[in-house]
Amino acid sequence: MTLRFVDFRDLTAEQRADAARVLRDAFAHMPDAFDGEFDAEVDGFFDDEDREAFAAFSGETLLGWIGRIETYDHAWELHPLVVDPACQRRGIGAALVAELEARVKADGVLTLYLGTDDDFGGTSLAGVDLFPNVAGHIAGVRESSRGHPFAFYQKLGYEIVGLIPDANGRGKPDIWMAKRL
């Protein structure tokens, strides 16, 4: 499949709505994601100068999209990465990440990082009291039978650099990952 990447600023109103739909569908397992404000999350990439996003298309169909947030001079956040659930596990997410890495590296970014919440029991960290010795829990983290995005990012060379215990409620951590570009 040949992918074409289109900057958000070049999307039509209909394509922007489709990007919001993909975001909603990709996070259907997390009903509180983005506080249900999927259109507002997409709009944030037009309204905030520290944010940029682009979408992957096959023909005229929007398959997924990725954003980045300029946070530090040399380390930026990947946020979010979404692929239409009907199109997942076809390399679209990996292609979006590779394209983002190339773009931000060209801008002088040295590290790309992301947070990947486990508020649904996708890792061995869910339901665990991570205090004390939070960092000690990193070495033993594994994916549960439910699956979790951290395993996808590990395959792309990202590593866990930290945990925020109880970020999403007791026993629901945020897993921070990063990659040197």
Q: Which domains does the chain have, with CATH numbers?
A: 1-109 (3.40.630.30), 115-181 (3.40.630.30)
At residue 47, the pLDDT reads 85
* CA–CA separation, 65 and 74 (whole Å): 23
Q: Output phi, psi for 135, to 5 deg.
A: -60, -30
Mean pLDDT for all residues in the chain: 95
Summarize pLDDT for 91-142 with one digit per residue, the tens. Answer: 999 999 999 999 999 999 999 999 999 988 999 999 999 999 999 999 999 9
Summarize pLDDT for 48-93 with one digit per residue, the tens. Answer: 999 999 999 999 999 999 999 999 999 999 999 999 999 999 999 9
Higher-confidence residue of 12 and 47: namely 12
Six token digits for residue 129:
């009291």
At residue 115, the pLDDT reads 97
Whole-prediction pTM: 0.95
Burial of 168 (0-12, 13-18, 19+ CB in 10 A): middle
